[in-house]
Amino acid sequence: MDCLLVTASGGEKLRDLLLAAGLTAVAVRETEEEARRLLEQKTFGLVVIDAPLKDSYGREFAASLADFYEMPVMLICEADMYDGVRDKIKGKTVFLLQKPFTRRALSQSVDFISAHRIQTDLLRAKNAKLNKKLEDIKTIDRAKYLLMSYLNMSEPEAHRYIEKQAMDRGLSRREVADEILKTY
């Protein structure tokens, strides 16, 4: 998984720690503005924000990334800011890590975020598949309604007609339904 690291401190040491934690590539930017420009061009598997940044603290930036780009975000903040930041980002999918942290804590955090990303991607794919299936059912039902209205078929007859046409012509039921919708 590739990563965007946004840090005001140059980030060489943190970049090396992220690479050691299993990330494949880490792009480094020093400001929120630079990071936003890069995000317009490229998508990342993870964004790590080492707060505070040069042009903002990073808390609102982290929340907006989690909402708008739907990507995992890790916000690293000082111990004295942790509780306040946690309260402000509650309900957002932002992973909060407190400084100072150990190499192991960073690695475990990256592992957890990676696993979460995989599960989220699987759920999105499943959701897309279910939405397509629902759209197919709606289209087929509209086609059945048209057959019932214009050809005085009963619902079972319309259903059988669509299934038979699909089987005989080697088409999906959705394709037959689309043709019916175009016809009527």
Note the pLDDT tens digit of each residue in 103-155: 999 999 999 999 999 999 999 999 999 999 999 999 999 999 999 999 999 99
The domain of 145 spans 126-183
Q: What share of the chain has pLDDT > 70, as a percent? A: 100
Q: Are 94 and 140 found together in one domain?
A: no
The pLDDT of residue 21 is: 94
Read off the pLDDT of each residue in 96-100 and give the average, rounded to a whole number.
94
Residues 12 and 95 in one domain: yes
Residue 137's CATH number:
1.10.10.10
**Whole-number Å distance between alpha carbons of 40 and 9:** 23
- Mean per-residue pLDDT, 6-29: 92
Name the strand (E) or helix (H) holding 7.
strand 2-7
Domain count across the chain: 2
Which residues, 6+ apart, have CB-to-CB distance to 141 below 8 Å? Answer: none
Do 77 and 135 sit in the same domain of this protein? no
What pLDDT is recorded for position 10?
Answer: 79
In this structure, are 6 and 97 located in the same domain? yes
Same domain, 81 and 136: no
DSSP secondary structure string, the chain?
Answer: -EEEEEETT--HHHHHHHHHTT-SEEEEESSHHHHHHHHHH---SEEEEESS-SSS-SHHHHHHIIIII---EEEEEEGGGHHHHHHHSTTS-EEEEEES--HHHHHHHHHHHHHHHHHHHHHHHHHHHHHHHHHHHHHHHHHHHHHHHHS---HHHHHHHHHHHHHHHT--HHHHHHHHHHH-
Q: Is residue 110 a part of any domain in this protein?
A: no
Q: Are residues 21 and 82 located together in one domain of the fold?
A: yes
| pLDDT confidence of residue 68 | 86
CATH number of the domain that residue 89 is part of: 3.40.50.2300
Q: Examine the domain organization and report whether 35 and 85 are in the same domain.
A: yes
Residue 59 lies in a domain: yes
43 with 85, same domain?
yes
Sheet with 73-78, strands from edge to edge, namely 25-29, 2-7, 46-50, 73-78, 94-99
Percent of the chain beyond pLDDT 90?
87
Q: Is 58 part of a structural domain of the chain?
A: yes
Mean pLDDT of the chain: 94
Query: Is 144 within a domain?
Result: yes
